[in-house]
């Protein structure tokens, strides 16, 4: 696994910027929805990882709090802006 900003078989190639130009205006931010659900009659357990542009979090418990999730998202160097909100069904 290469350090952020580097890629290639031996991590010697500098990564090119990708995605939207941060200097553009009137753009909306991307958002992701994470839905952790259990099936009726099945015990809820386990972990998951969030991965973005080759970097991933540590295993996160299925019942992690918003603060815990935000803490580990902020550790990902490839994610610039992190906002967590809870939506109940």
Range of the domain at 55: 29-89
Task: Answer yes or no: is 39 within a domain.
Answer: yes
Task: Answer yes or no: is 18 within a domain.
Answer: no
Helical spans, DSSP H, in the chain = 66-73
Task: Answer yes or no: is 49 within a domain.
Answer: yes
- Closest alpha carbon to 79 in 56, 49, 58: 56
Task: Answer yes or no: is 54 within a domain.
Answer: yes
What pLDDT, in 10s, does the model give residues 9-42? 899 988 877 666 666 666 666 666 777 677 777 7
Record the tokens describing residue 36, joined without a space: 């952790």
**Which pLDDT belongs to residue 30?**
64
**Which pLDDT belongs to residue 29?**
62
Task: Answer yes or no: is 9 within a domain.
Answer: no
For the residues of 37-61, what is the DSSP string, one character each? ---TTS----EE--EETTEEPPPEE
What pLDDT, in 10s, does the model give residues 27-81? 666 666 777 677 777 778 888 888 877 788 889 888 888 888 888 888 888 777 6
Task: Answer yes or no: is 71 within a domain.
Answer: yes
Task: Answer yes or no: is 87 within a domain.
Answer: yes
Domain count, the chain: 1
């Amino acid at each position: 696994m290469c350090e952020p900003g580097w890629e290639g078989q031996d991590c010697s190639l500098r990564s090119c910027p990708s995605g939207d130009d941060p200097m553009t205006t009137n753009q909306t931010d991307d958002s992701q929805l994470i839905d952790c659900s259990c099936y009726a009659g099945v015990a809820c357990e386990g972990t998951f990882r969030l991965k973005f542009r080759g970097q991933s979090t540590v295993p996160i418990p299925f019942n992690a709090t918003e603060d815990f999730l935000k803490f580990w998202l902020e550790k990902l160097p490839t994610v610039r802006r992190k906002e967590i909100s809870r939506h109940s069904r």
